[in-house]
């Protein structure tokens, strides 16, 4: 689904959940109900898909979620590698259990950009960065999608 089509499927005053996928951790960010601001929410320590889905369902209910934005890790040349395939497979498995629209967002260099901010501006230690990097990267990804969505006329 393209971002324009994704926007059309969302109802007013529904938040959007953003994901920074990892094999061990899933960074999660949530937008406000007007879909202007993305905020880091939490990091899901991944143990198995069933537990991942249970946690995501809980967030969907609590935060009035209307759709998902998945960070898609493309190569620098724009091609998709093995990790992008894993993200797409994960999104399909979530879609089988949670009937909400979703879109993929190019996340090239998002984790690096966030880490640079955490090192430079926030002056965080490596240990502290590890605790917030994934959810902060999810917020960075989601904010990029939200910014694009704000320019789409429905």
pLDDT per residue of the chain (154 residues) written in tens, 0 to 9: 899 999 999 999 999 999 999 999 999 999 999 999 999 999 999 999 999 999 999 999 999 999 999 999 987 788 899 999 999 999 999 999 999 999 999 886 555 555 555 545 555 555 554 555 678 889 989 999 999 999 887 7
Longest dimension (CA), the chain: 43
Question: Which pTM was predicted?
Answer: 0.87
CA 23 to chain CA centroid, nearest Å: 14
Half-sphere exposure of 128 (CA within 13 A, CB side): 7
Please give the pLDDT value at position 126.
54
Q: Which CATH architecture has domain 3-149?
A: 2-Layer Sandwich (3.30)
Q: Which pLDDT score is estimated for 2? A: 92
* Domain ranges for the chain: 3-149
In the chain, alpha helices (H): 3-9, 49-63, 82-97, 110-120, 126-149
pLDDT, residue 11, reads 94
């Amino acid at each position: 689904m393209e971002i324009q089509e994704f926007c059309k499927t969302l109802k007013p005053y529904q938040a959007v959940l953003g994901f920074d996928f990892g094999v061990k951790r899933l960074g999660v960010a949530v937008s406000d109900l007007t879909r202007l601001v993305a905020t880091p929410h939490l990091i899901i320590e991944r143990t198995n898909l069933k537990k991942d889905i249970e946690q995501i369902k809980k967030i969907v209910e609590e935060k009035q979620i209307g759709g998902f934005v998945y960070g898609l890790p493309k190569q620098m040349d724009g091609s998709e590698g093995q990790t992008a395939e894993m993200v797409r497979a994960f999104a399909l498995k979530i879609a089988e259990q949670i009937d909400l629209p979703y879109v993929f967002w190019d996340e090239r260099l998002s984790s690096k950009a966030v880490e640079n901010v955490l090192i430079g501006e926030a002056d965080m230690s490596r240990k502290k960065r590890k605790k917030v990097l994934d959810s902060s990267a999810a917020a960075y990804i989601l904010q990029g999608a939200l910014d694009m969505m704000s320019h789409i006329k429905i």
